[in-house]
């Protein structure tokens, strides 16, 4: 059974001005998401600046999210690491905190072989009982999970059940779908590829766009799930200028700027991420207006 179908938000981690975690604001964002039809919450992912959270903060943010959501939608905790030992530790803590699943990014910097990836993900999944979603984003990690490796993991490890595909390589994703033949769910990891991936059999998206447009992102996915790809494509096209702006600088710089422009006051970024360049911010503002959410 799928962890979720539709649109999951890769939610930002709001900070106070001193860059401590703003838990009150996190609650507000979660309620906004659930009210606007988000199908799942992904906490402490790339968009949540997990790489600059301490282990203690990471675990506390996951636990806080689980408590606030209170079973209304699935909570998927980002627990991947370039260290297998750390990934196992964070995954165990997420399970203990009540997360419904974990999201495991490919080990970054190490650039493991396919055999190394297999052992890393298998060891991590074997250490817990909740479902695991693999996360393939080679542009950020320098490491690509080949379709054969992903499918072997899904067939060999009972709780590896899905993959978030953000390679941007539609040919690779099509091959993955063909080889998997239904043995694992596929989620788009790119907001501009929701409809193409779902047309191949994907069941949803783990989305940055959902931070600022949760209902619209859910509706794109729902149209695909309903088989109305013409309608879904039209909605996808309408969102493309905003999506482009949300990725005009490294994520989550633009999406945090967008939320601040919208009045959500999610605070600053943690270094080495810095504030958005003024020219890009002005284009983002215009595209938020064009999309009707600013």
Question: How buried is 242 (Cβ within 10 angstroms: 0-12 exposed, 13-18 middle, 19+ buried)?
Answer: buried
Give the residue numbers annotated as catalytic, written as ranges: 135, 164
Residues 6+ apart with CB under 8 A from 52: 270, 271, 273
Alpha carbon distances (Å) from 96 to 8, 80, 102, 103: 22, 16, 12, 15
């Amino acid at each position: 059974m799928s962890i979720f179908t539709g649109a999951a938000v890769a939610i930002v981690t709001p900070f106070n001005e001193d860059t401590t975690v703003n838990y009150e604001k996190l609650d507000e964002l979660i309620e906004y998401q659930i009210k606007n039809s988000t199908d799942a919450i992904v906490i402490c992912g790339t968009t949540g600046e997990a790489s600059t959270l301490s282990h203690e903060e990471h675990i506390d943010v996951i636990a806080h999210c689980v408590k606030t959501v209170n079973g209304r939608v699935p909570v998927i905790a980002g627990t991947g690491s370039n260290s297998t030992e750390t990934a196992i530790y964070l995954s165990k803590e997420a399970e203990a905190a009540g997360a419904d699943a974990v999201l495991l990014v490919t080990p970054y910097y190490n650039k493991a072989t396919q055999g190394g990836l297999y052992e890393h993900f298998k060891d991590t999944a074997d250490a817990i009982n909740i479902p695991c979603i693999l996360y393939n984003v080679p542009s950020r990690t320098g490491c690509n999970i080949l379709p054969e490796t992903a499918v072997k993991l899904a067939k060999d490890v009972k709780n590896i059940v899905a993959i978030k595909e953000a390679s941007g390589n539609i040919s690779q994703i099509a091959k993955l779908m063909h080889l998997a033949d239904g043995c694992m769910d596929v989620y788009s990891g790119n907001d501009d590829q929701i409809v193409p991936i779902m047309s191949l059999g994907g069941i949803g998206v783990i989305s940055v766009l959902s931070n600022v447009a949760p209902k619209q992102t859910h509706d794109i996915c729902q149209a695909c799930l309903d088989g109305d790809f013409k309608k879904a494509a039209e909605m996808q096209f309408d969102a493309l200028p905003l999506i482009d702006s949300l990725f005009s600088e490294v994520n989550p710089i633009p999406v945090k700027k967008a939320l601040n422009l919208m009045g959500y006051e999610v605070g600053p970024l943690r270094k080495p991420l810095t504030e958005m360049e003024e020219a890009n911010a002005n284009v983002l503002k215009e595209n938020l207006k064009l999309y009707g959410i600013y």
